[in-house]
Amino acid sequence: MTPEQPKRRIALFGSTGSIGTQALEVIAANPDKFSAEILTAHSNEELLIEQALKFQPNIVVIGDEKKYEKVKKELSSTDVKVFAGEKALEETAAIDCYDLMLAGIVGYAGLRPTLKAISIGKPVALANKETLVVAGDIVMRKAVENRVPVIPVDSEHSAIFQCLVGETRNKIEKVILTASGGPFLGRKPNYLVNVKREHALQHPNWSMGAKITIDSATLMNKGLEMIEAKWLFNLKPEQIQVLVHPQSIIHSMVQFEDGSIKAQMGLPDMKLPIQYALAFPKRIPNQFPRYDFKKVSTLTFEEPDIRTFRNLALAIEALNKGGNLPSIMNAANEIAVYAFLRNRINFLDMTDVIEKTMQKISYIERPTLEEYYESDGEARTFAADMIKL
């Protein structure tokens, strides 16, 4: 981005979450390169108002319609347009007033706005892995049809993406996704049975939102990332490997057919992959801390324990079987994590809820988009009934 180039206008879907707030830090640090054109939040109206007053976007959307009047009133002295409701998210994504969407809405709710952005030819910086877990075949097919780049923001997929720059014609033998192992690395079921919410929310390396932190503790996050990698990089399940790397310095690797391995490394800081996605294909300077090889002790790697952390085994099953099974698994997981965060079920109960839901909901080998939505709804209802939410 040279000085003569106009600012890149960013539509930030999920601006009050962990990814959204860090993205706004990147935008604030580079006011000559980026502007926040659209900001959306589900229910955190206080932070949304604060962000809107600071960044003066064109549009804000509050998902919770009960909070519309407050947001509207607080922003009445500005030129910011205010909308509310889930439908408004989709409609706003269809407005041609931005250059790139940062899809940071957590969970399945991010799917419809992302599809809408792709349909009008907008590049997507994807921080919502569930979008591809739920309907990866449809999302990536539409991206190809509309010639829209999907740039991953997840640190692992950003690492693979960066390793593949300049390698378009070279065949991938496999990708290696690294996992920190979460706060319970090395623990066995007799320990995990007593784990409480506050223990599971203490991630050793990354600062993330509650949902993704719990997914990291159960290793479900790594399973979701395997499915996401399949669609992003057009891989077969057997080309995707997971290694536990507790130091979180190597963010992922790509092995090519000649045996050469490329790795992307750096300190664990989500602002780096966010900045890379917003500025792509340029790299721009920043003041983030640097990794110092002189201070390194050791980098270690080990196989994940899928007998203890069975969520990863369930995700591998969904990856291999495909169809609507990843969608069913994701829906059940979202309900189970919601229940665990509210102390309604135990840590290991989450796996049982997911497994039973995957067994119960009808399998469809080649679902339509409507069937994906129906499978999601059925799985959520079944899981919630099991937990008695």
Helix axes 220-232, 325-341, angle to 10 degrees: 150
The pLDDT value recorded for residue 43 is 94
Specify the domain boundaries for CATH 3.40.50.720 within the chain: 8-152
Type of residue numbered 27: I
Asked whether the CA dihedral 369, 371, 372, 373 is positive or negative, the reply is positive
The pLDDT value recorded for residue 23 is 98
Rounded Cα distance between 142 and 280, Å, is 21
The two tokens of residue 67 are 């909070």
SS3 assignment for the chain: CCCCCCCEEEEEECCCCHHHHHHHHHHHHCCCCEEEEEEEECCCHHHHHHHHHHHCCCEEEECCHHHHHHHHHHCCCCCCEEEECHHHHHHHHCCCCCCEEEECCCHHHHHHHHHHHHHCCCCEEECCHHHHHHHHHHHHHHHHHCCCCEEECCHHHHHHHHHHCCCCCCCEEEEEEEECCCCCCCCCHHHHCCCCHHHHCCCCCCCCCHHHHHHHHHCHHHHHHHHHHHHHCCCCHHHEEEEECCCCCEEEEEEECCCCEEEEECCCCCHHHHHHHHHCCCCCCCCCCCCCHHHCCCCCCECCCCCCCHHHHHHHHHHHHCCCHHHHHHHHHHHHHHHHHCCCCCCCHHHHHHHHHHHHCCCCCCCCHHHHHHHHHHHHHHHHHHHCC
The pLDDT value recorded for residue 379 is 98
- In this prediction, the residues of the chain whose per-residue pLDDT falls under 70 are 1-4, 204-207
Cβ contacts of residue 191 below 8 Å, gap of 6+? 184
Q: Fold for 322-389, please state it.
A: Rna Polymerase Sigma Factor; Chain: A (1.10.1740)
**Mean pLDDT, all residues of the chain:** 94
The pLDDT value recorded for residue 198 is 86
| Superfamily for the 8-152 domain | NAD(P)-binding Rossmann-like Domain (3.40.50.720)
Specify the domain boundaries for CATH 1.10.1740.10 within the chain: 322-389
Render pLDDT for 65-123 as a digit per residue (tens, 0 to 9).
999 999 999 999 999 999 999 999 999 999 999 999 999 998 778 899 999 999 999 99
The pLDDT value recorded for residue 234 is 96
The pLDDT value recorded for residue 345 is 95
Residues 40-76, buried b or exposed e (16+ Cβ, 10 A)? bbbebbeebbebbeebebbbbbbbeeebbeebbebbe
Its pTM surpasses 0.85 = yes
User: Which residue, chain included where needed, has tokens 């999302």?
Assistant: 139
Strands 172-179 and 240-244: parallel
